[in-house]
Amino acid sequence: MKQNPLSLVQTTIQAVQTPHSDPSRSGFSRRKFLRRAALAGGVISTPWLVPFNVLGRNGAVPPSEKILLGGLGIGGRGSGVLNWMLGESDVHFVAVCDAKKSQRENVKRMVDNRYGNKDCAVHQDIREFLATRTDIDALLIATGDRWHATASVLAMRAGKDVYSEKPSSMTIAEGQAVVDTARRYSRVYQTGVQRLSEANFAFAIELARSGRLGKVHTARAHIAPWDAAEMRHDWLPAEPEPPKDEVDWDAWLGPCPWRPYNSAYVRGGWRGFYDFHTSCIGEWGAHTFAQSQAGLDTLDTSAVEYHYVNNPTGDGMVTVFANGTRMILHRGDEWWHGSCGMRFEGPEGWVSVADGYSIPEVSSPSLLADLKKIVGDYMARTQRPMSHVRNFFDCVKSRRLTVAHPGVMHRTMSTVHAANICMWLKRDMKYDPVKEEFVNDAEANRLRSRAMREPWII
């Protein structure tokens, strides 16, 4: 029987005004309320004027079911990720925050052109942004390395789900803070190691995990072929600071030590400096360590041994996990062609893949026979699509763990940080991933964290 419109409105208002009501028990969620209230208002006034997209017809996603997305620090890489996200029909980007005026204006122009309006809001101060934009469900964080963990923690405390670009922590302590915050505030989090959601890489990982190569004993992980493991501890010469509206230098630095302004930093020249970067190991290792540890079934831990190599980059370093498997760092392309390569080796064969492959390389063509089935079985078992951003948005709705959840980020980045510390101290070392400390090495343990500058302490 068709419900009277006035009754529908009364029921909706009563459900919201009932004292001490629990939406989770009543089944009356915020989005259900908005949908019901919109429907009630439309019936009372002029239902024939309600657009089909508002009602979710013809395949459109109604506004009440859309994920409202914001962005923080969206530059070149972030714009690429945002383009992927704007293609999702149930996502609507509403606001950007950036310490650089040129970047926030670029993002606004990009988003407004996509939507055909002028609605994208711009913000300069992250504190004001998080405090006032209570409508935003999720944030894309694509600042430089120095801000990833701090911004993620502040955003999750403000009730936002987070997609953070890699490397998602500067230290072991920062990784711990991200894990603890996501757990405490029940937030969904994805670190941007997108190759975990690409078919070629997923196939290689599943080939290693399934036993088709025998018991895998070695993974090889690509590190960036530029910069060094030993980073610069000086800073660039001072230049006159621009107006705060152009570049808020204090906010750009964030938790890092105060350094004099130099325009090269804000043009991307911060890489290679200890204050701002995670070295050539972190640059690509943030990707390839996660990929390698996935295939070795060690995503819930970190390597326990790190063997120093006497070169500037860490090329050839052997790391060992508690189960005896090894992950070896490689700077060149001996084991693959392309960027962010990885390789798994077992007694019955090997598989190798990197960016740009049409299909993975394998020791025997027979290993490729079930490629589509292996990827399909993985997707069915995990309920994960071959799209990193789609996996994130699906989990925002379902509240399930993403493929690159905080634990995955922290454990694999801890391996990155420990490898860096091994190179900095120029000696072999052992790490206890349960206690999250180096064994009998006070100097190494002091490097698990860095001082953070007020007011950006997390």
Mean pLDDT of the chain: 90
Closest C-alpha to 279, from 222, 229, 223: 229
Confidence bin at 252 (pLDDT 50/70/90): very high
Global pTM? 0.87
Judge contact between 438 and 449, C-beta under 8 A.
no
Tell me what pLDDT residue 63 has: 76
| Mean per-residue pLDDT, 220-229 | 97
Share of the chain above pLDDT 70, in %: 87
Rg (CA), the chain: 24
pLDDT digits (tens, 9 = 90+) for 267-317: 999 999 999 999 999 999 999 999 999 999 999 999 999 999 999 999 999
For 48, half-sphere exposure in the C-beta direction (CA atoms, 13 angstrom radius) is: 0
Q: What is the enclosing helix (H) or strand (E) of 49?
A: none
Q: Report pLDDT for 50.
A: 46
CA–CA separation, 153 and 324 (whole Å): 34
Residue 443 CA to residue 105 CA, distance in Å, equals 45
Quick check: helix, strand or coil at residue 206? helix
Domains of the chain: 1-12+23-65 (no CATH), 67-194 (3.40.50.720), 195-230+277-446 (3.30.360.10)
Indicate the SS3 state at residue 94. Answer: strand
Banded model confidence at residue 38, pLDDT cuts 50, 70, 90: very low
Residue 379: how many other CB atoms lie within 10 Å: 15
| DSSP assignment of 375-396 | HHHHHHHHT--S-HHHHHHHHH
pLDDT at residue number 23: 35
The mean pLDDT of 98-111, rounded to a whole number, is 98
> For 44-66, how does the pLDDT look when each residue is reduced to its tens digit (9 = 90+)?
343 444 454 555 555 667 777 89
Q: Is the predicted pLDDT of residue 36 greater than 60, yes or no?
A: no
* Residue pair 195/413 in contact by the 8 Å Cβ criterion: no
Q: What is the pLDDT of residues 336-392, one digit of tens each?
A: 999 999 999 999 999 999 999 999 999 999 999 999 999 999 999 999 999 999 999
